[in-house]
C-alpha cells in the first residue's frame, strides 16, 4: 500500500492496534466522522495501522463493522502494517494498549518519534480503563465497550487538537 505524501499543514493522526481489523479502524472511522461533523476535513488527516501484518489488505472485522454501523459509522479502511515511515508522516500515533505501545516504540529512532506515541485511554475522561481491550475473541458486549471507550477518547483528542489551534 502506498502511503500518502503530505505537502500541507494538516494535523495527521494514526490509530494503531495489533491486527488493524477491530480497534484501530474503529477509532479511525469514529474520528473521521467527528472530523467531518466539525467540518475539519481540510485540517485533519486520519488513518490506522496494525503492529502485525496478519490481516494486511482486509476490511475490519464484520462484528466491529456491524457495531459501528449501528452507531452511524462506516468502518471501511483496509488493514495495513505500521512502518517507520509513519513516524515521519504523522503527528499523533495513538495506540490501543501497552503491547502496541512497546511494539511501536521499538521502531522509533528518536525521542521525537517516541513523543508522538500516546495511549488511546490517555484521552479518556468518562472511563478509567488503562487500555482499549481487544474485542476479537469476546462477545457483543466487548465490541460495545470498545465503541464507548473510543467515542469518549476520540472526542477528547479532537478537542485537544482544536485547542492547540487557539
Sheet containing 92-95, strands listed edge to edge, beginning at the edge strand earlier in sequence: 44-50, 11-17, 92-95, 117-119
Q: How many whole angstroms separate alpha carbon 116 and alpha carbon 40?
A: 21
Burial of residue 140 (CB within 10 Å: 0-12, 13-18, 19+) is exposed
Q: Which residues belong to the active site?
A: 17, 23, 134
Cross-strand pairs, 49:
16
Residue 117 neighbours by CB distance under 10 Å = 20
- CA dihedral 59→62→67→71, nearest 10 degrees, is 40
Amino acid at each position: 500500500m502506498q502511503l500518502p505524501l503530505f505537502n500541507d499543514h494538516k494535523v495527521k493522526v494514526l490509530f494503531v492496534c495489533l491486527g488493524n481489523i477491530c480497534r484501530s479502524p474503529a477509532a479511525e472511522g469514529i474520528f473521521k466522522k467527528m472530523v467531518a461533523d466539525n467540518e475539519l476535513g481540510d485540517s485533519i488527516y486520519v488513518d490506522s495501522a496494525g503492529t502485525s501484518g496478519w490481516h494486511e489488505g482486509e476490511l475490519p472485522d464484520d462484528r466491529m463493522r456491524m457495531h459501528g454501523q449501528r452507531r452511524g459509522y462506516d468502518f471501511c479502511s483496509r488493514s495495513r502494517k505500521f512502518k517507520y515511515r509513519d513516524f515521519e508522516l504523522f503527528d499523533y500515533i495513538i495506540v490501543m494498549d501497552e503491547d502496541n505501545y512497546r511494539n511501536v516504540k521499538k521502531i522509533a529512532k528518536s525521542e521525537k518519534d517516541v513523543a508522538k506515541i500516546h495511549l488511546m485511554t490517555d484521552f479518556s475522561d468518562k472511563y478509567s480503563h488503562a487500555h482499549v481491550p481487544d474485542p476479537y475473541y469476546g462477545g457483543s458486549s466487548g465490541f460495545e465497550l470498545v465503541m464507548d471507550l473510543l467515542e469518549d477518547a476520540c472526542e477528547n483528542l479532537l478537542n485537544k487538537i482544536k485547542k492547540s489551534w487557539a
